[in-house]
Structure 1
């Protein structure tokens, strides 16, 4: 068992207080957006096995089978296939979408062949992997996820009574659903920036007005989320694109799974996030970064549907699992209680344990123990033996499905 030392990424959208509160540190006043736990080459966690601090990525690369387990290496390759994060949004993140594995492989190969530097601002594909992800709320968490039914979005827009939205309403009402969503998004993202700036200003005023005039509307929560976004991103076409998406408010312990092609944006809140070990993001807006509209339209899946808020499913030995349709990551949660009840996790594959409340004690097959306080985490290599969990608090477990 290795205690992890992890890196915090200070993106501008980050909360100034949430991650310091989790780690038991004083806020610096600067945004702290993501705590990375894992072996991603961009910011690998670090471990100390008595011979000095080493990057977890290097430890795994030195002996993948011993660290990850032979079965996991055969199935996923010689690297940890997931990245675990604590994400803390103080203001909305960019509206974005992730490619499928096939799209990532083709896009990465094309940009490599064109000699586009990996660090270039206009590069779309940083690697050849897909990036499905799951986020579980630690506090009330607000976001946008997937397309709303286009007819419902037309109703939402119509109540706002903004003349500039009329062409979009017509598209949403008259075209087949998939075509309506594609053409509306393309129209929004290719409209002249001066026209967009005026329309977003009018929209922001209309959103505030609609909340006062229609307090019982089923869209009032969504209007508040869009108004919050419009105030922070004036003149950004992403504010208009956001109107097409389902507004979601997660309560602690609720989760969202985001597969390839699903447009989404996190608006505010703190959550535990797990994803395939990739950094591929195509942006639709709410950002000063590069937006490649033609490539984006190839990747987005233009299907409307429910965002799919999910709670945990009870498993064996007190484990609560957040099911996902892929095997590269598996996120679960243990609520440890003061009665001394022992929970166990198997060691067939490598795993990361993160304590988000209280404290936990990990005991391996040799009797060695490791104490985790709130905000602390551990890496458990694939020993093939169980690890016992005791304490009082909440412990998240990240591993793979074999």
Structure 2
């Protein structure tokens, strides 16, 4: 068994300093000289992905190199590497509205744009809550989307009005086609259209408190948008509208959600562990200052509609839970370790 020095990602959405579980791991495991209280500690990576490779603590050799030279260290199914990437996340503010491609799509994206899609692999992933973990994931049932958009005329105007909305209540194929048209039109709005819609919408719902409205006001505060250099127009972030269409829910500690290919999602707050196929491919389309590939995301989504996708794990032994998603790269076991008091000496 090797002690590892693991990679830490200081993305802006991470929890700052010692408030972060990631920072606690860094400190307790001596993965860095110190914890900077002013710095966000977002992700702790355990794996061989080149964007954050783990190293052997004793020699500082890359774990990937050690496995390549000693393939007997891993099972044959790992094919001379690690097929998975294991992480701990500490989320202080929303991550981007995003999805992940299939293997076939990832290969094409990587070939055409290796800067933004750094590898040719897919990225199915499992999030398991360590604390209450708030997220958006998957499209809501059609009736909920219909109701939410009916009550948001500022947003519905970006989709061309209510004509397409009625088709959401049709058969499955018609509903998916309608949702694709609605989502694509909203997310493809011009800067001028988006600026006006966000301003009017947020101004109104600030005076109409509800769980949904409060969330969208919060997201607008976290992502107030950018000022265009040509017009000085403040353009809000289209991701502010995501809760109207995506399921909003909170996982309790131990609960999980599995995110398959082309499923829209955004983590909002809390700590979790995450396991995925070994990839760093993310198609972003909102709640981020990073590169957004709205056209690809809109084209690739499945547009399946359902309730919150909470993944059912099972207890395989007393104190041992198995999270086994329908992918070959990984499964996760949670093992409860019970501490018993030492007997008093007499």
C-alpha distance in 2 between matches for 1:151 and 1:168? 17
* Alpha carbons 1:253, 1:311 under 8 Å: kept: no
* Alpha carbons 1:14, 1:91 under 8 Å: kept: yes
Paired position in structure 2 for 1:42: 51
* Alpha carbons 2:96, 2:288 under 8 Å: kept: yes
C-alpha distance in 2 between matches for 1:273 and 1:198? 37
For the residue of structure 1 that corresponds to 2:212, the secondary structure is helix
C-alpha RMSD of the superposition: 2.1
1:58 equivalent in alignment to 2:60: no
1:182 equivalent in alignment to 2:180: yes
- CA spacing shift, 1:311–1:223, aligned 2, 3 Å: farther
How many matched pairs? 314
Larger strand proportion, structure 1 or 2?
1
Within a 5 Å distance, the mapping from 1:20-99 to structure 2 comes to: 20-22=23-25, 23-24=27-28, 26-48=35-57, 52-64=59-71, 66-70=72-76, 72-73=77-78, 77-99=79-101
1:133 equivalent in alignment to 2:135: no
Paired position in structure 1 for 2:148: 156
C-alpha distance in 2 between matches for 1:230 and 1:180? 26
* 1:206 Cα offset (Å): 3.4
For the residue of structure 2 that corresponds to 1:315, the secondary structure is strand
Paired position in structure 1 for 2:2: 2
1:304-361 CA distance string (max 9 Å, x none): 1123213531013632112311120111111111249xxxxxxxxxxxxxxxxxxxxx
Within a 5 Å distance, the mapping from 1:205-216 to structure 2 comes to: 205-211=203-209
C-alpha distance in 2 between matches for 1:299 and 1:78? 31
* 1:242 Cα offset (Å): 4.0
* Alpha carbons 1:153, 1:172 under 8 Å: kept: no
Paired position in structure 2 for 1:319: 320
C-alpha distance in 2 between matches for 1:246 and 1:321? 25
Q: Structure 2 unaligned runs (5+)?
A: 29-33, 169-173, 225-235, 342-346
* Alpha carbons 1:154, 1:169 under 8 Å: kept: no
* Alpha carbons 1:137, 1:251 under 8 Å: kept: yes
C-alpha distance in 2 between matches for 1:14 and 1:37? 17
Q: Structure 1 unaligned runs (5+)?
A: 212-219, 341-402
The two structures have a TM-score, normalised by structure 1, of 0.73
Select 1:224's aligned residue among 206, 211, 214: 214
1:194 equivalent in alignment to 2:192: yes
1:17-68 CA distance string (max 9 Å, x none): 212245457552111111111111111111145xx2211111111122x111
Within a 5 Å distance, the mapping from 1:317-396 to structure 2 comes to: 318-339=319-340
The two structures have a TM-score, normalised by structure 2, of 0.84
* Alpha carbons 1:229, 1:267 under 8 Å: kept: no
- CA spacing shift, 1:44–1:163, aligned 2, 3 Å: closer
* Alpha carbons 1:174, 1:180 under 8 Å: kept: yes
